[in-house]
Chain A
Amino acid sequence: MKQMQLDDAAAVAKARGGDHEAFRTLVERHSRSIYRLAYRMTGRPEDAEDVVQETLVRAYRQLSRFESRANFATWLYRIGFNCAIDYMRARPHRESTEPHETLDRMPAGGHTPSMDDLVYAGEISERVQEALNELSAQERAAFLMRHYHGCSIDEICSALDLKSNAAKHSIFRAVKKMRIALRPLMKAGVGN
């Protein structure tokens, strides 16, 4: 049977037994989504790549702890967020991403956006990233888990080892930063 046909659960079972090809299937399937998470956390492609690598190595070491009933992607995201937090704490003074690079590496596929769309989306991205940069790594992770990954407060508490109030406070702070950062663009957008 080809490895690519393995679903996550089967690939995990084989990888636990030391089958590297099965783990490769998981790496190839999930590395892009971990990259997106890591990019949002770190704001820099190079840092995001480091976080992806560390996340996958850490996941391999912890495969025996993965509960087979759980969703592998969700489990991997939890590791990814914690790796990103560790990474940012270890290297707290990195500069944030450059907007031009962001525009150069737009997602492929879908409709071709106009130059105005690109500029507008680029400005939003820049401001969202700036607002995220003003948060601690843990606050950032809590907000991203809630907003982009739909995790409940309980799940965030469990993944990040936070108390419920701390998780809520992180999200409140992040949303307030977003409101301040995006308000000028929102008014401009309404005017367009």
Chain B
Amino acid sequence: MHLTDDDLILRFYGETSPDEQRRIDEHLRTCSACREGWSELGETLRMVDAAIVPEPPEGFERIVWARVAQQLPEQRSGWTWRQLVPVLSFAAVILAIATLGLQWWAAVPASPDQVADATPGGRGPSTTERVLLTALDDHFEQAERLLVEVMNAPDGADAGSDYERVAADDLLASSRLYRLTAEQTGQRQFVQLLEDLEPVLVEVARRPERVDQQEIESLRTRIDDDALLFKVRALSHEIRERQQDIMTTNEGGL
């Protein structure tokens, strides 16, 4: 029995198993009709190689870049995840030290002046609160960036990049510490938002490499329904206002 065209094509492109290849090669040695077909196939496909592809005009790369650049998002001025990981870790350690310090301080009997500082009419927010505000400012900025990426990633089978997973994991680790500190300093609105964010961060951090489109949509619906992006932006704005107030108070006190 002669070889089929399909056999020859698969053999030409090296898509046959070793056994199949041996069978085809042995047949070609003994069958002149199939050998002719094989030879014609080779010649045809070598001619295909000779087909000309016109070169684009000179300066093509510059023209392409000019067009592509217009469609790219604005260049990020913030830090990258890789840069932020050590900074956030450092901030978390500082915050932990400040929290422990506060607990120790609270255990020591306070002088009247110190009590006055801690009361609403006192000279201002505690060190822990200031550190917390700074840390949360970064934390919410990164959370916002991650949420935007989850919401805007192009549809496709493989979501869940390493980049997003690592970012979510880092945010999750620092979130727990910040939530604890916010609870201890009575910052209820921060506690609430950190709690709302956590399930989303857990889901992104634990995503497999390939995610069903339905799961991506479900996550996006949850982010939308909980108005997470809006809440993150609103609280980030409040944090910056409070930081500004602290700076103004400090300048006034000098």
Contact = CB atoms under 8 A, between A and B. Distances in A.
Contacts of A36: 53
A49 interface: yes
B157 to A, nearest CB: 8
B254 to A, nearest CB: 38
Interface of B: 5-6, 9-10, 13, 15, 40-41, 43-45, 47-56, 60-62, 64-65, 67-69, 71-73, 75-76, 80, 82, 149, 153-154, 156-159, 161, 163-164
A39 B53 contact: yes
Given A16-B163, A186-B40, A172 B6 contact: yes
- B interface majority secondary structure: helix
Given A24-B65, A27-B61, 16 more contacts: A18-B75, A18-B80, A32-B56, A53-B67, A56-B64, A64-B161, A64-B163, A101-B54, A102-B54, A104-B54, A106-B54, A106-B55, A108-B55, A121-B51, A147-B49, A183-B44
Nearest to B69: A20
A168 B8 CA distance: 12
A124 B51 contact: yes
A125 B52 contact: yes
A27 B65 contact: yes
- A interface majority secondary structure: helix
5 contacts: A23-B72, A28-B61, A35-B56, A48-B56, A121-B52
Contact of A27 (B5, B41, B64, B159): B64
Contact of A52 (B41, B64, B71, B158): B64
A35 B50 CA distance: 17
Interface residues of A, number: 59
Contacts of B60: 31-32, 35
Contacts of A104: 54
Interface in A123-162: 124-125, 128-129, 146-147, 152-153, 161
B86 to A, nearest CB: 15
A182 to B, nearest CB: 5
B152 to A, nearest CB: 8
Contacts of B13: 146-147, 171
A62 interface: yes
Contact of A18 (B45, B76, B153, B154): B76
Interface in A98-114: 101-108
Shortest 3 CB-CB distances between A and B: which pairs? A18-B76, A105-B54, A17-B80
A163 interface: no
Given A27-B64, A32-B61, A171-B13, A65 B48 contact: no
A57 interface: yes
Given A20-B75, A64-B161, A107 B52 contact: yes
Contact of A17 (B9, B48, B71, B76): B76
Contacts of A35: 56, 60
Nearest to A164: B15
Contact of B48 (A24, A178, A183): A178
Contacts of B82: 17
Contacts of B44: 175, 178-179, 182-183, 186
Contact of B68 (A56, A106, A182): A56
